Amino acid sequence: MTFGGLALPDSLELFTLDGLTALRALARGEERGVALFVPGFTGSKEDHRFLVALAAERGWESFSYSQRGQADSIAPRGIDEYSLQKLAEDTVTVAERIARGRRVHLVGHSLGGLVARAAAILRPDVFADLTMLCSGPGGQGPEHHTDDAAFVARHGTLAWWEHNNPLGARNEDEVFVRERAAASSDDNFLAMAAILRDAPDSSDELRETGLPVLVAHGDADDAWPIASQHAMALRLGARYEIIPNAGHLPNIDNPNYTTELLDGFWSSGEHKGES
């Protein structure tokens, strides 16, 4: 059964991996490799439902998962359980479980980009490349999250959602997001807000891994400073792309273009690792 009653593409399978809920789509036709999508702050596996399905149509076995404390994934108690190190270790564990001898194409959205970057630095041998989607160098995320964290500490994640949506849930997507806020861990929210505020820039460490990197964002991304994303790409020597007709969620706003961009990056000759 889908979480929050959200309609999912027919090609997606639901499963659980060590308490983390996940989506999977088998490659259509000849398999070309495996991809893993990591969601961002207040997100979940469903944020990448379209990319997982579309990438599978292009021959990539694709997965997304909800990080610990997100939606219906396992939610240990205590803010320390949501450190960047532990979140990155989860990413590595999931990648190793799905790899089956292949290197994994890793995509992290927003805060998920910081988690994915930390995972790539921790175990570069597991990954073929890294895409940071609407994500920056660290410590430069949306400033309002400090106030959001203070509100959640007092009232909880559901009250935070209701405060920001006084008209309530008016469609299927908003019903889902409300249910996700209700189910997600307050400790997760508080810890991730701190990561967005305090995570150091580890661009040099990422560059030293030798992994190919793609930095991409929507042309109207209003959540993470575009200038910092571009500067990070230059520092990394990364490929840099702007996704048209998209804001901070190109995975939702323009999934077809985003998938084509990823497909081209994953297929490019610059890769040293095995797909």
Residue 245 region, left (φ>0) first, then alpha (ψ -120 to 50), else beta? left
Residue 109 CA to residue 89 CA, distance in Å, equals: 17
pTM: 0.94
Q: Is 60 exceeded by the pLDDT of residue 217?
A: yes
- Which domains, and CATH codes, for the chain? 11-267 (3.40.50.1820)
Concatenated DSSP letters for 213-246? Answer: EEEEEETT--SS-HHHHHHHHHHHT-EEEEESS-
In whole angstroms, what is the distance from residue 133 CA to residue 215 CA? 6
What tens digit of pLDDT does each residue of 153-173 get? 888 888 887 888 888 888 888
**How buried is 245 (Cβ within 10 angstroms: 0-12 exposed, 13-18 middle, 19+ buried)?**
exposed
pLDDT above 90 as % of the chain: 80
Mean pLDDT of the chain, nearest integer: 93
